[in-house]
Amino acid sequence: MSNRTQAEETVTTQRHPASEVTVVGIGADGWNGLGLPAQNALHRADTVIGSRRQLELVPPQVGARRVGWPSPLLPALPGLLEEHAGGPLVVLASGDPMFFGIGQAITGLLGTGAVTVLPQASSVSLACARLGWSVEDVPVVSLVGRPLAALRLDVHDGRRLLVLSGDASTPAEVAAGLRQWGFGPSRMTVLEQLGSPAERSLAGTAETWDEPPGDALNVLALECVTDGIGPRLSLTAGLDDEAYEHDGQLTKREVRAVTLAVLAPIPGELLWDVGGGAGSIGIEWMRAHRSCRALCIESDPARGQRIATNAAALGVPTLQVVTGRAPAALAGLPTPDAVFVGGGLTVEGTLEACWAALRPGGRLVANTVTVESEAVLAQWHSSFGGELRRISVSRGRPVGRFTGWDPGMPVTQWSVVKPRGNQERT
């Protein structure tokens, strides 16, 4: 499945007449840093499109018409390319246009055969060169147009990160986030105007960061160090129950780990978490890989808000909450690769709607603690196969001076893979 954003998918459904389009990566060093092919493309162009900062880097002897990017950009892109399709067109991008840049959207619209991409060294490559870091070993998180919470997933003790800043205020916001998450001792290095004569760097720690906003064009390098107080947020399933705000409607840690193992998330897949509760299944599905997506369907608005709060706190703020009651709330949602049903099994039509929507080869997992819902799962197991399992967990509790076992309610789980084509059971 594609990992593109919804906006990019909308853009790429439209096609436009072929024209001479060149996407030129330009660094902070401007015209002097461009190779001859890029300079020639700009001299030939009838129109140059870019941000105000990028257009100012092009010298006056380039006589092309200059057009600034509209906002929001992606929805306007098809019409903009159509409008300027009559002659040679250059689109300016920062550094490497295919790395968090506009290049993918343009090649998706016009096709790779109609577009020439001329990249420059990306800000990530320049930052690693300054720091002596190996590019392939350093994760990159973009906060351009994304909330600070998107960084939380990648912050772990001993890890190096590069952050593409949204603007001059990003370093201070990241420092505040690191302090809040228990990573105040982390070292921060802000690298501004990489590759230009005005390049400079500032260094410090998150807990003492008090630098005023500098240049908007900056990359932030992090060396993460925990203060030892905050929670340990593993990327494997089964976070501590205390990591979630909840009102008791929470799939407990051990059962959650088993459930995620059976759901088996892989990159790019979409999960429906039906009866979201605290959102733990959808959240840990998305924590498995940055490209995993989830929809939490929850009928209680207060719980829906709590799910969104938990998702942001645990580094997956793009989890979508659908407030409504299944099965009606499921109508029109994108086709899932997997479905988890944690509530509403006895509501007529819920399992039927989930099964009908699930793509062939997709997985459905349902958990319950009630006899009535068990009967529903037994019936579906009889009709569609799959696996039934009983999950029992006991935890040690003080019994006077000793320790005894306190058993939790056993959970009945049904899991099944939807057959492909003519494999459907009769």
- Indicate if 373 and 268 belong to the same structural domain: yes
- Cis-peptide into 360, omega within 30 deg: no
Q: What is the pLDDT of residue 7?
A: 37
Q: Where are the beta strands (DSSP E) in 131-217?
A: 140-142, 160-164, 187-192, 200-205
Q: What is the pLDDT of residue 423?
A: 55
Residue 109: burial class (beta carbons within 10 Å; 0-12, 13-18, 19+): buried
Position 52: which residue type?
R
Q: Where are the beta strands (DSSP E) in 284-424?
A: 293-298, 320-323, 338-341, 363-368, 387-391, 394-399, 402-407, 411-417
Residue 292: CATH number of its domain: 3.40.50.150
Asked whether residue 154 is domain-assigned, the answer is yes
CA 424, chain centre distance (Å): 34
Asked whether residue 231 is domain-assigned, the answer is no
- Indicate if 103 and 129 belong to the same structural domain: no
Q: Where are the beta strands (DSSP E) in 65-217?
A: 65-68, 89-94, 115-118, 140-142, 160-164, 187-192, 200-205
- Indicate if 194 and 328 belong to the same structural domain: no
Distance CA 398, CA 102 (A): 60
Position 345: which residue type?
L
Asked whether residue 101 is domain-assigned, the answer is yes
First to last CA, the chain: 29
Residue 152: CATH number of its domain: 3.30.950.10
Provide the domain limits for residue 134: 125-223
- Indicate if 73 and 129 belong to the same structural domain: no
Asked whether residue 78 is domain-assigned, the answer is yes
Going by C-alpha positions, the residue among 299, 295, 298, 300 that lies closest to residue 285 is: 295
- Indicate if 105 and 134 belong to the same structural domain: no
The residue from 120, 154, 179 where one domain ends is 120
Q: What is the pLDDT of residue 101?
A: 87
The residue from 160, 190, 223 where one domain ends is 223
Q: What is the pLDDT of residue 72?
A: 87
What pLDDT digit, counting tens, does each position of 165-192 carry?
A: 999 999 999 999 999 999 999 999 999 9
- Indicate if 111 and 141 belong to the same structural domain: no
Distances 33 to 46, 93, 265, 355, 363 between C-alpha atoms, Å: 22, 14, 43, 56, 51
Tokens 């990566």 sit at which residue?
25
Distance CA 306, CA 213 (A): 33
Going by C-alpha positions, the residue among 62, 26, 70 that lies closest to residue 46 is: 62
Beta bridge partners of 188: 204, 222
- Indicate if 183 and 260 belong to the same structural domain: no
Going by C-alpha positions, the residue among 344, 338, 327, 345 that lies closest to residue 362 is: 338
Sites in the chain below the pLDDT cut of 70: 1-19, 422-426
Q: What is the pLDDT of residue 359?
A: 97
- Indicate if 316 and 398 belong to the same structural domain: yes
- Count Cβ atoms below 10 Å from residue 199 Cβ, excluding itself: 16
Alpha helix (H) residue ranges in 132-216: 170-180
Counting the structural domains of the chain, the total is: 3
Distance CA 29, CA 54 (A): 11
Q: Is the dihedral of CA 245, 248, 254, 255 positive or negative?
A: negative
Residue 25: CATH number of its domain: 3.40.1010.10
- Indicate if 199 and 330 belong to the same structural domain: no
- 3-state DSSP call for residue 281? helix
- Indicate if 12 and 115 belong to the same structural domain: yes
- Indicate if 129 and 182 belong to the same structural domain: yes
Asked whether residue 27 is domain-assigned, the answer is yes
The residue from 164, 193, 223 where one domain ends is 223
- Indicate if 193 and 132 belong to the same structural domain: yes
The conformation of residue 422, written as its DSSP 8-state character, comes to: G
